[in-house]
Amino acid sequence: MIKKINNRGMTLIEVLVTIGLFLMLVVAVAELMIWGNHGKDVVWEQLSTQNEGRLVVQDFVNDLRRANASSIGSYPISLAQSQQITFYTNVDSDSWREQVRYFLQGTTLKRGVIKPSGNPIVYNPANEVVVDVAHDLANATTSIFNYYDQNYSSASSTPMTYPINISAIRMVGIKLMLEEKPNVAPAPFYIEAKTEIRNLKSN
The beta-strand segments (E) located in 25-183 are 77-80, 84-89, 98-105, 108-114, 129-134, 145-148, 171-178
Q: Which residues of 96-112 are buried (b: 16+ CB within 10 A; e: fewer)?
A: ebbbbbbbbeeeebbbb
- Above 70 in pLDDT, residue 1? no
CA dist., res. 46 & res. 195, Å (int): 26
- Above 70 in pLDDT, residue 13? yes
What pLDDT is stored for residue 30 in this prediction?
80
What pLDDT is stored for residue 99 in this prediction?
97
What pLDDT is stored for residue 152 in this prediction?
82
- Order of strands, edge to edge, in the sheet holding 189-196? 145-148, 171-178, 189-196
Closest CA to 62 of 161, 138, 133, 168: 133
Instruction: Report pTM.
Output: 0.75
Comparison of pLDDT for 42 and 144, the residue scoring more: 144
71 contacts 116 by C-beta, under 8 angstroms: yes
Q: How many CA atoms lie within 13 Å of 130's alpha carbon, on the beta-carbon side?
A: 12
- Above 80 in pLDDT, residue 146? yes
The mean pLDDT value of the chain amounts to 85
- The secondary element (H helix, E strand) that includes residue 12 is helix 12-65
What pLDDT is stored for residue 4 in this prediction?
54
Residues of the chain above pLDDT 90, percent: 52
Bridge partners (DSSP) of residue 116 are none
Highest mean pLDDT among 4-8, 74-78, 133-137, 196-200: 74-78
Q: What is the pLDDT of residues 42-66, one digit of tens each?
A: 555 666 667 888 899 999 999 999 9
131 contacts 115 by C-beta, under 8 angstroms: no
Which segment of 24-38, 52-66, 72-86, 121-135 scores lowest on mean pLDDT? 24-38
What pLDDT is stored for residue 112 in this prediction?
97
